[in-house]
Amino acid sequence: MTNIFDNKVVLITGGTGSFGKKCVEIMLSRYNLKKLIVFSRDELKQYEMAQVFPLEKYPCMRYFLGDVRDIDRLYRVFDGVDYIIHAAALKHVPIAERNPIEVVKTNVIGAENVINASIDSGVEKVIALSTDKAVNPINLYGATKLCSDKLFIAANSYSGSKKTKFSIVRYGNVVGSRGSVVPLFRSMREKGVITITDTRMTRFWISLEQGVDFVLNSFNLMEGGEIFVPKIPSMKIIDLANAVAPDCRHEIVGIRPGEKLHEVLLTEDDSRHALEYDDFYIIEPEFNWWTNERTRDNGVRPVKEGFIFKSDTNTLWLGADELTSLVNE
């Protein structure tokens, strides 16, 4: 991929999260950035992150406190920014069910604020991180992320004469991220019992580094309005439990409220306007302003009508050995 990041100002909302920290690590190792701005609302996490990436060693680093709910603060920190990765979100499913208004304020109103501040500040490109839970959502977190996705796609028609372009990257569960099931299983391992919601449950699986790489590569490809979906493997939750704690007893507790048995990254309806590459899919917007022909070059093929990218019917699977290797890493 062409390097578009050298001498650019990049900002990551929610930059002290799992994705943000890995993204900072990778970008500092690869690119000669003018500035790399970590924007988040947690001063302790920023302090701890600054010990790992100090200004003395990385003079391009900046740490700004703030919340995506506060649009005035966004106008201030977006000034002079070229590219934005919007990773800030409230994403814990059960907590979101109990605190819906707070989640809407961050995930939906926050998305609107990022869009408006990006356009008015002259930001060139924005990629917002999405989730498989935004596809046919059954919980509040997924519903707010679906709404956020719709806002970012439609934002391309709001930018008017401004140059700002918006796209989405959507993928599944991230190995080792905060709130993922791996740390939970590890904590249960000490007691000798692993609770399993359903032995049939499957999930998409991607590593933090793979997720960051996919987002950065999508900046090179985006024209504005696309949803980028990587071809990633599935795994069975029970296989993951065996990889984390092979000697533990399993206790079946049932699916939690707002939880699916299987996840979907690309629906049958999406397939009507989706393109397939070797390693990923692009879901094109259905707006009449979408006239991008570039994605149809170089042998890119339309997805077959009726195709569904679902975790239980996926052709790519992680076996027990691969899961054990991932967990150990």
Dump pLDDT digits (tens) for 258-292.
889 999 999 999 999 999 999 999 999 987 777 66
The answer to whether residue 73 scores a pLDDT higher than 60 is yes
By percentage, how much of the chain surpasses pLDDT 70? 94
pLDDT value, residue 258: 80
- Distance CA(253)–CA(194), nearest Å, equals 10
Strand order across the beta sheet in which 173-174 lies: 173-174, 202-206, 234-236
SS3 229: strand
- How far is Cα 116 from Cα 104, in angstroms, rounded to an integer? 17
For the stretch 141-196, pLDDT in tens is: 999 999 999 999 999 998 888 889 999 999 988 876 666 777 778 888 888 898 88
Say how far apart CA 211 and CA 142 lie, in whole Å.
Answer: 19
Lowest mean pLDDT among 67-71, 111-115, 222-226, 321-325: 321-325
- Per-residue pLDDT tens over the stretch 28-45: 999 999 999 999 999 999
In the numeric block, which tokens belong to residue 286? 């259905």
| Buried-exposed string 233-267: b where 16+ CB fall within 10 A, e elsewhere | bbbbbbbbbbbbbeebeeeeeeeeebbbebbbbbb
Specify the pLDDT at position 148.
Answer: 98
Residue 60 scores a pLDDT above 80: yes
Cα(162)–Cα(6) distance, integer angstroms: 23
Around Cβ 138, how many Cβ atoms within 10 Å? Answer: 12
C-alpha to C-alpha distance for 91 and 95, rounded to whole angstroms: 8
Q: Looking at the predicted structure, is the pLDDT value of residue 18 above 80?
A: yes
Q: What is the 3-state secondary structure (H, E, C) of 160-208?
A: CCCCCEEEEEEECEECCCCCCHHHHHHHHHCCCEEEECCCCCEEEEECH
Whole-number pLDDT of residue 50: 97
- Known catalytic residue at 133: yes
Distance CA 62, CA 2 (A): 25
Choosing from 133, 165, 260, 310, the catalytic residue is 133
* Amino acid at position 105, single letter: K
Task: For the beta carbon of residue 92, count every other beta carbon within 10 angstroms.
Answer: 14
Q: Tell me, what's the pLDDT at 294?
A: 54
Neighbours of 11 (CB within 10 A): 25
**pLDDT at residue 242, as a whole number:** 87
Q: Which of 13-27, 234-248, 251-265, 292-306 has the lowest mean pLDDT?
A: 292-306
Lowest mean pLDDT of 61-65, 213-217, 233-237, name the range: 233-237
At 305 the pLDDT is 84
Separation between Cα atoms, residue 167 and residue 291, nearest integer Å:
15
Q: Which domains does the chain carry?
A: 9-172+206-232+265-310 (3.40.50.720)
Structure tokens at 308: 């569904």
Both tokens of residue 28? 């500092």
Q: Which residues contact 116 (CB under 8 A, 6 or more apart)?
A: 71
pLDDT of residue 151: 97
pLDDT in the model for residue 175: 76
At 223 the three-state DSSP class reads: coil
Position 2 confidence tier, pLDDT thresholds 50, 70, 90: low
Q: What is the mean pLDDT of the chain?
A: 91
Q: Which two tokens stand for residue 98?
A: 């109990």
- Per residue, the 3-state secondary structure of 48-109, as one string, reads HHHHHCCCCCCCCEEEEECCCCCHHHHHHHCCCCCEEEECCCCCCHHHHHHCHHHHHHHHHH
Question: Residue written as tokens 């999405």?
Answer: 130
Q: pLDDT tens digit string along 290-319?
A: 766 655 556 688 898 899 999 999 999 988
Q: Is 3 a residue whose pLDDT tops 80?
A: yes
**How far apart (Å, rounded) are the C-alpha atoms in residues 299 and 270?**
20
